[in-house]
Structure 1
Amino acid sequence: MAQTRMRLTDIQLAALARSAFGLASSPQLPGADGSGDTEFEDAEGVLVAVRDHAGLTVREIPRWRSPAAVRAQLGDTSDVAAWVGLPPDDAGRLPARVLALLPVAGTAPDSATVSLAAARWSAAAHGRELVVVPVPVTAADPELAWEDLAAAYGAPLLGSRVEAAAPRTGGLAVMFTGLSGAGKSTIAGRLVELLQEAGRTVTLLDGDEVRTSLSAGLGFSKADRDTNVRRIGWVAGQIAKHGGIAVCAPIAPYAATRTDARRLVEAQAGPGSFVLVHVGTPLAECEARDRKGLYAKARRGEIAEFTGVSDPYEAPTDAEVTLDTTGTSAEVNARRVLETVLAGTAGAQRR
Structure 2
Amino acid sequence: MSARSRLTDVQVAAVARYHFGLSPTVPELPQSGDWEDAQGVLVGRPGERGPTVVEIPRWQSPGTVAQRLAERGWAVPTAWVGRPPTDVAELPAQVLALLPVAGAPADTATISTTAAAWARVRATGRAVEIVPVPVTAAQPEVGWAELAEAYGATLLGSRVDPEPARTGGGVLFFTGLSGAGKSTIAARVVELLLEAGRSVTLLDGDEVRHHLSAGLGFSQADRDTNVRRIGWVAAQIAKHGGIAVCAPIAPYAAVRADVRHEVEAQAGRGGFVLVHVATPLAECEARDRKGLYAKARAGEIPAFTGISDPYEAPTDAEVTIDTTGKDVDACARLVLDAVLAGPLQAPAPSP
Q: Same fold (TM over 0.5)?
A: yes
* Counterparts of residues 244-259 of structure 1 (less than 5 Å): 244-259=242-257
**CA deviation after TM superposition for structure 1 residue 129, in Å:** 0.9
- Are 1:6 and 2:5 counterparts? yes
Alignment partner, residue 94 of structure 1:
91
Aligned mate of 2:203, from 188, 202, 205: 205
| Rounded Cα–Cα distance in structure 2 between residues aligned with 1:303 and 1:315 | 22
Query: What residue ranges of structure 2 are gaps of 5+ in the alignment?
Result: none
The reply on whether 1:18 has 2:23 as its aligned counterpart is no
Query: Counterparts of 1:313 and 1:203 in 2: how far apart (Å)?
Result: 26
Residue pair 1:80, 1:95 contacting (<8 A) in 2 also: no
Task: Tell me the C-alpha RMSD between the 2 structures.
Answer: 1.9
Q: In 1, Cα distance between the equivalents of 2:77 and 2:51? A: 35
Q: Which moved more, 1:287-296 or 1:68-77?
A: 68-77
Deviation, structure 1 residue 298: 1.2
String of CA shifts for 1:259-312, please: whole Å, max 9, x gaps: 111111111111111001111111111111111221121122111111112222
How far does residue 125 in structure 1 lie from its aligned partner after superposition? 4.1
Distance 1:254 1:57 in 2: 42
AA in 2 matched with 1:135: V
Unpaired stretches in structure 1, ≥5 consecutive residues:
none
The aligned counterpart of 2:265 is 267
Alignment counterpart, residue 334 of structure 2, candidates 333, 336, 341 = 336
Deviation of 1:134 after TM superposition, in Å, equals 0.3
Alignment match, 1:186: 184
Give the C-alpha shift of residue 347 in structure 1.
Answer: 5.7
Query: Percent same amino acid among aligned pairs?
Result: 65
Measure the CA separation in 2 of the matches of 1:260 and 1:23.
31
Write out per-residue CA displacement over residues 23-48 of structure 1, whole angstroms, 9 at most, x where no aligned residue.
Answer: 2336234244xxx7x31111100011
1:80: which partner in 2? 77
Distance in 2, matches of 1:46 and 1:228, equals 28
Q: Report the equivalent of 2:43.
A: 48
CA 1:55–1:335 in 2, change beyond 3 Å: closer, same or farther? closer
Match of 1:66 in 2: 61
Match of 1:151 in 2: 149
Q: 1:26 to 1:259 in 2, by over 3 A?
A: closer
User: Which 10-residue stretch deviates more, 227-236 or 339-348?
Assistant: 339-348
- Corresponding position of 2:214: 216
Secondary structure of the structure 1 residue equivalent to 2:254: helix
Corresponding letter in the other structure for 1:73: R
Partners of 1:264 and 1:284 in 2: CA distance: 34
Deviation at 1:72, TM superposition (A): 2.8
Q: CA-to-partner distance for each residue in 1:58-94, whole Å, 9 max, x for gaps?
A: 2211000112221233232235311011111111111
Tell me whether 1:106 sits opposite 2:103 in the alignment.
Answer: yes
AA matched with 1:39: D
Residues 34 and 44 of structure 2 are in contact (CA less than 8 Å); yes or no, is this contact kept in structure 1? yes
1:314 partner SS: coil
- The answer to whether the 8 A contact 2:170-2:244 is kept is yes
Which amino acid letter does the alignment assign opposite residue 324 of structure 1?
D
Change (3 A) 1:278 1:55: closer
Contact 2:232 2:259 in 1 (8 A): yes
Closer/same/farther in 2, CA of residues 258 and 250 from structure 1, 3 Å limit:
same
Pair 1:348 & 2:347 matched: yes
Equivalent residue pairs, number:
346
**TM-score (ref. length: structure 1):** 0.93
Partner Cα distance (1:54, 1:307) in 2:
53
Kept in 2: contact 1:10–1:106 (CA 8 A): yes
What code does the residue aligned with 2:129 have? V
